[in-house]
Structure 1
Amino acid sequence: MITWRKSSHSGGGNVGGQDCVEVADLTPDLPTTQWLKSSHSGGGGAGGQDCVEVADLTPVIAVRDSKDPDGTKLALDATAWRALAHQIKNGHHDLA
């Protein structure tokens, strides 16, 4: 279960006083999480590990850099994940 909390910098400037950002720590769920490496991973990175890994942390999809598994993770809902994957497959984010 993911627990969300409001930023300590939240203000009360909008309707209902809910002018805030919420954050969640995915770390507690990660030790037992199965990360899947992209089938399109290349060998160009350090040790041939030039890839992205994803994990199903329902209700979100987590994304991380396999070269830095303890680093920052990105969490996307299913709709955002599908949109990002579609854009990548169509070359919209090709940085090569």
Structure 2
Amino acid sequence: MSALGWRKPSRSVNTDNCVEVGRSAGGAAVRDTKDRAAGYFAVPRPRWSEFLAALKSGRLAAEAR
């Protein structure tokens, strides 16, 4: 699987201390900006959609406290 179009959060434009997300044929790929050569992990599209929905709803922020 090859990830395309790596992007990092707009709030992290001036730092290398974040993660990047890339599109893949089956979903999303995530890698550490500090160590891009270490590879990435892939997430199937349905799980990625669930993750994004949880972030947008604030459900993950509440669990982290």
Q: Please give the range of the TM-score, normalised by the shorter of the 2 chains.
A: 0.5 to 0.7
**Structure having the larger proportion of residues in strand:** 2
How much is the aligned-residue C-alpha RMSD, in angstroms? Answer: 2.8
Normalized against structure 1, the TM-score is what?
0.50
- Identical counterparts, % of pairs: 27
Alignment of 1:28-67 (within 5 A): 29=2, 33-41=4-12, 48-67=15-34
Q: Which has the higher helix share?
A: 2
Matches within 5 A, 1:1-96: 2=1, 29=2, 33-41=4-12, 48-89=15-56, 90=58, 92=60
2:52 counterpart SS class: helix
- Name the structure, 1 or 2, with higher relative contact order (CA <8 Å, separation 6+): 2
Check the 8 A contact 1:42/1:51 in 2, yes or no. Answer: no
Distance (whole Å) between structure 1 residues aligned to residue 26 and residue 60 of structure 2: 26
How high is the TM-score relative to the length of structure 2? 0.67
Distance 2:59 2:11 in 1: 13
Q: How many residues align?
A: 63
Unpaired stretches in structure 2, ≥5 consecutive residues: none
Which structure would you say has the larger Rg? 1
**1:41, 1:52 within 8 Å by CA — same for their partners in 2?**
no
How far did residue 39 of structure 1 move?
Answer: 2.2
AA aligned to 1:76 is: V
